[in-house]
Amino acid sequence: MKTDDFFYNLPPERIAQTPLEPRHSSRLLVLNRQKAELEHTVFWNIYDYLNPGDLLVINRTRVIPARLFGFKNSGGKVEILLLRRVDDLTWEALVGGKGLKSGTVIQVENGPKAEVVKELEASRRLVKFAEPIENSFNAAGQMPLPPYIHTRLENGERYQTVYADRPGSAAAPTAGLHFTPELMERIKNKGVHFAEVTLHVGLDTFAPVKEDDPGEHQIHTEWCEVTAETAEQINRTKREGGRIIAVGTTSVRTLETAAKQATAGDCVGPFSGSTALYILPGYTFKAVDAMITNFHLPRSTLLMLVSAFAGRERILDVYRQAVEQEYRFFSFGDAMFIY
């Protein structure tokens, strides 16, 4: 297995630059793993593919305004992109600027002072703020849109799911961006339930795998949680014959991480902590029966994950057809339902 086995050609114009209104009007490509034919519809009609007793697992993480700007004592400009909170004052971050070594002091614009306390690989640093940076998010922070989005986003809430209420992500769990309160109510009225998990997304979700052998890629850890209540909801659904449908690859990774904690007779167990689960073709899924997901970057770990679920050759063929059918790709793009 080579990283180039997960490459496909994508014309730049197929990368969605702006979200659609309403959210549920995006297109939906339906892939039944047992059938050759694909179905093409709109996301509002996801309702038609759900059965009473199914459980949709959503990730309630909220994107924080994680892009900060500042300057060193020398006057040099600095950009800080928060990735992961380590403690009340310290964050792992990507930093842009010259000479940002341990001991460097940075004055955040409209925010507190910060110090680089440890140099990590490449441009990653541990940065310690003089006071909790969360207090300055409104004044100092900007929304960290993905690098392939070049159009200004006028409404920052469009890069949040409608149910996002647990701050901590540097990127949105984009499969959830298609849901609206009206659609969720419609789904619930059919007898389909929702369960909540949390995974705080890091920017590594956008990083292509650069190693020739994807097995040598070092996936970065992300914090996730499945509560005891949610675990019981999932296990009960399984016992009663319902499907566990992950909304997004973040929910997939969270559920499959929790599956490692399951006791005999259960599907998942409660879990809270860091996950470095890396799903490649050959992986046996233990919790997830179906998934809703967007279209992912070539050579990315997320494309590898969906390939593990539906087969690499099948997924690449589906992506080729999606390009021909002029689907919109990536964060603000269209969705797939794979079951």
Each residue's pLDDT tens digit, 170-186: 999 999 999 999 999 99
Q: Rounded to the nearest 5°, which phi and psi values hold at 169?
A: -95, 150
pLDDT of 236 strictly over 90: yes
Pick the CATH number of 3-63+153-338 from 3.40.50.2300, 3.30.70.270, 3.40.50.720, 3.40.1780.10: 3.40.1780.10
pLDDT for residue 280: 97
Residues 138-177 pLDDT 10s: 999 999 899 899 999 989 999 999 999 999 999 999 999 9
pLDDT higher than 90, residue 58:
yes
Decide if pLDDT at 279 tops 80. yes
Total-model pTM: 0.94
pLDDT band at 134 (very low <50, low <70, confident <90, very high): very high
Average pLDDT of every residue of the chain: 96
CA distances from residue 155 to 147, 151, 200, 299 in whole angstroms, order as listed: 18, 12, 21, 30
Q: How confident is the model at residue 100 (pLDDT cuts 50, 70, 90)?
A: very high
Reply yes or no on whether the pLDDT at 244 is more than 90: yes
* Residues 293, 295, 299, 304, CA torsion sign: positive
Q: Which residues contact 293 (CB under 8 A, 6 or more apart)?
A: 175, 248, 249, 302, 306, 335, 336, 338
Mean pLDDT of 187-193: 98
Over the stretch 109-132, which tens digit does the pLDDT of each residue have? Answer: 999 999 999 999 889 999 999 999
Q: Which CATH superfamily is domain 67-140 in?
A: QueA-like (2.40.10.240)
Q: Are 112 and 137 in contact (CB under 8 A)?
A: no
- Residue 208's pLDDT is what? 78
pLDDT category of residue 204 using cuts at 50, 70 and 90: confident
pLDDT > 90: percent of the chain = 93
pLDDT in tens, 25-46: 999 999 999 999 999 999 999 9
End-to-end CA distance of the chain: 24
Q: Where in the chain is the domain with CATH 2.40.10.240?
A: 67-140
Which segments of the chain belong to CATH 3.40.1780.10? 3-63+153-338
pLDDT at 26: 98
Q: Which of 124, 42, 129 is nearest to 83 (CA)?
A: 124
- Neighbour count for residue 202 (Cβ, 10 Å): 22
How confident is the model over 230-246, as a mean pLDDT? 98
pLDDT of residue 294 exceeding 90, the answer is yes
Count of CB atoms within 10 A of residue 285's CB? 17
pLDDT at 207: 72
Residue 205 has pLDDT above 80, yes or no: no
pLDDT of residue 202: 86
Tell me: pLDDT of 220 over 90. Answer: no
**What pLDDT is stored for residue 84 in this prediction?**
87
Model confidence at 330, pLDDT cuts 50, 70, 90, reads very high
Average pLDDT value for residue range 275-279: 95
